[in-house]
Structure 1
């Protein structure tokens, strides 16, 4: 893949996702400070994913027909509108509307960019390298968004935090001129009747989607519980944002090394090791009382989970017909976000009964048990 094209795509997704991650840190923290309980916060977090569940497959087909530019523009408009609504009137109902718009817009941008990378990258080694850089950009967005939102919230207030994060995706529009639109031409993309669920009949693809669903659930557990724990312990928003940002920084760092490791190990082996490591960190996380210790666990979790996305995307590309990769990416987004809808609400309910420690340990048991699916990916 041409280096300039890869930089453009990585930057687009980084800027779009930074708004989402900043909103997902600031919105529940603000809701807690308004006096709303954990169930309301869990519902708010779930709304960031609701629209992606319903938009993913239509967005994937739309990207196959229209390429990159038009979907990215529509997605950015949705993201900016969501942030702007939350900034103008930061109360729970408008935060919910902003969550739906921001999540849906980010899902469209993500599908368009990931499809573009898969179509341009080429061979398996180039796929792993390209998706590693794309995943590195996503990890950096998990640093940029929460840190910007946390600092702005502490210094200028919640409206400034939402406005600053909403401005980030606008920079991505400057990267669209010169980008290549790759559409599925009629000769290369035979018409496939019905919906995309016939891809589910591939057992390896089915296992891979289950793995990525579990990993997304672990991500959401972490995002949900860090503001809750931080608020309980009286930590300022900038510190909470830094703890969340430490996760993103560690994920970005490990993804820079992923191509070197992937040259010596198969994708399934990296997934298996990372899932076991995630289970161990989840067992230790709630035992850490201080901000520094929480930050250390966040870094370790970033190391374990950060290595998984390039491997998932590389396998997804290898297991899917080329002309249907956009649909496969959309299925992954949809399955992930089904988890992201349910997990925050389940965390809110379970947290009120079991506490944060029980939720962390439950998530660790699930991801540890699901690591067997990665072993099956390595079985001929």
Structure 2
């Protein structure tokens, strides 16, 4: 990221990115385990997963407009404050189903503010030639946080089928305070006159009319929904097959670690293969991996196929981010990223709710197979996204 005169803020930014994902990826599966403790019926688990996305679905585009108009840092600060509120809600009222729903909604809005601000910051403070590398590194930090979250379940839950949820909720409350401190350490970035003018005059409709935008949003939506399904229904699969909670936490961490690998090398992979081919291939790989997860197999084999799925799922998100950032003028990139998040949240509302109905009749395996089929459709759709001029090889400017 090169638009700022100094990179001193990058550690705070990557720390913020790391922590918001760690907090989210430990709270969401822990909420599912708490729901299982409370004997919540299986079809309600999908509704609990969807509660994370319902309100953010309505607030995503306004959040992007706020990032364009008022600055990325302010939106990230709001997200950090709401994260503290969500973690406190899990501690204080998480012993009831309605409390879990309220806390999940708060967490969803908090995550939205943090992520919209982060993605707009990367899009606005990065040279166009470095988008794939910058978004790859940004999502690498996010994956690192996603890996830490399940490890907390391993550390605090051990080999029990249901982990000690009280200890996890209390630990995450402390983490959320650190997240707020990191947001406060970020500098205030000046906006160019051209960016301010575009922020005032641009519209969502004009963004949607750009060739390939809708297809890119659909692909991003399905890929993130697949990540969500793995987060919610791997614990359910473990409960159905009597797999210890520690093993499920390790599997979730394995998926996140595999995603980190593909994201760290994303700039080089794009230079070698091309963004379009890499996007289609990564979605296809993730479809195969998720389909195999649902097949009964030894534990070591589960780690292999979850890792394969993680490699594919890891590349899809940053590739759609860099495509949108590259095809959107300054001053509208916050809204472009929020449009992507709107599609993602729509998928997070519809897919888990439909998954709950499937789970009631065919269990977690049926949900995973259905998700793999959706990824196949996403891969076909990705082939129609127009190819922008290829970015230069990042090794040539190193």
Same fold (TM over 0.5): yes
**Deviant stretches of 4+, over 6 Å:** none
Post-superposition offset of 1:361 = 2.0
Give the whole-Å Cα distance in 2 for the aligned partners of 1:108 and 1:183: 19
- Contact 1:204–1:319, Cα closer than 8 Å, also in 2: no
Kindly indicate whether residue 135 of structure 2 is the aligned counterpart of residue 131 of structure 1.
yes
Match of 2:33 in 1: 29
From 138, 145, 148, give the equivalent of 1:144.
Answer: 148
SS at match of 2:242: coil
Query: What are the equivalent positions in structure 2 for 1:94-243 lying under 5 Å apart?
Result: 94-124=99-129, 126-154=130-158, 157-177=164-184, 179-182=186-189, 184-190=191-197, 192=200, 195-243=203-251
Of 340-349 and 192-201, deviating more is 192-201
Of 185-194 and 56-65, deviating more is 185-194
Give the whole-Å Cα distance in 1 for the aligned partners of 2:374 and 2:19: 32
From 75, 79, 86, give the equivalent of 1:75.
Answer: 79
Post-superposition offset of 1:187 = 4.1
Give TM-score, length-normalised by structure 1.
Answer: 0.93
- Contact 2:258–2:314, Cα closer than 8 Å, also in 1: yes
Give the whole-Å Cα distance in 2 for the aligned partners of 1:379 and 1:86: 44
Instruction: Sort the Cα spacing of 1:45 and 1:14 in 2 relative to 1 into closer, same or farther, 3 A.
Output: same
Structure 2, gaps ≥5 residues long? 389-398
Give the whole-Å Cα distance in 2 for the aligned partners of 1:118 and 1:272: 23
Kindly indicate whether residue 383 of structure 2 is the aligned counterpart of residue 375 of structure 1.
yes
Of 29-38 and 166-175, deviating more is 166-175
Match of 2:331 in 1: 323
Instruction: Sort the Cα spacing of 1:36 and 1:150 in 2 relative to 1 into closer, same or farther, 3 A.
Output: farther
Match of 2:17 in 1: 13
Instruction: Sort the Cα spacing of 1:19 and 1:332 in 2 relative to 1 into closer, same or farther, 3 A.
Output: same
Give the whole-Å Cα distance in 2 for the aligned partners of 1:376 and 1:157: 47
Give the whole-Å Cα distance in 2 for the aligned partners of 1:197 and 1:21: 33
Structure 1, gaps ≥5 residues long? none
Give TM-score, length-normalised by structure 2.
Answer: 0.89
Post-superposition offset of 1:179 = 2.6
Query: What are the equivalent positions in structure 2 for 1:34-45 lying under 5 Å apart?
Result: 34-45=38-49
C-alpha distance after superposition, 1:155-177 (max 9, x if no partner):
98211111212322322333345
Of 50-59 and 235-244, deviating more is 235-244
- Contact 1:26–1:150, Cα closer than 8 Å, also in 2: no
Of 171-180 and 325-334, deviating more is 171-180
- Contact 1:61–1:326, Cα closer than 8 Å, also in 2: yes
- Contact 1:65–1:183, Cα closer than 8 Å, also in 2: no
- Contact 2:68–2:196, Cα closer than 8 Å, also in 1: no
C-alpha distance after superposition, 1:52-90 (max 9, x if no partner):
111111111111222133222211111121111111232
Post-superposition offset of 1:3 = 4.5
Kindly indicate whether residue 287 of structure 2 is the aligned counterpart of residue 279 of structure 1.
yes
Post-superposition offset of 1:9 = 1.7
Post-superposition offset of 1:194 = 8.0
Post-superposition offset of 1:244 = 0.9
Question: How many residue pairs are counted as aligned between the two chains?
Answer: 379
Kindly indicate whether residue 97 of structure 2 is the aligned counterpart of residue 92 of structure 1.
yes
Give the whole-Å Cα distance in 2 for the aligned partners of 1:159 and 1:244: 20
- Contact 1:6–1:130, Cα closer than 8 Å, also in 2: no
Post-superposition offset of 1:289 = 3.5
C-alpha distance after superposition, 1:112-156 (max 9, x if no partner):
0110111111122x1111111101011111111122134324498
Post-superposition offset of 1:358 = 2.5
- Contact 1:10–1:137, Cα closer than 8 Å, also in 2: yes
Post-superposition offset of 1:292 = 2.9
Give the whole-Å Cα distance in 1 for the aligned partners of 2:10 and 2:382: 29
Give the whole-Å Cα distance in 1 for the aligned partners of 2:192 and 2:131: 22
C-alpha distance after superposition, 1:315-369 (max 9, x if no partner):
0111112210000111111110111011111111011123333322222222112
Match of 1:344 in 2: 352
Q: CA RMSD in A?
A: 2.1
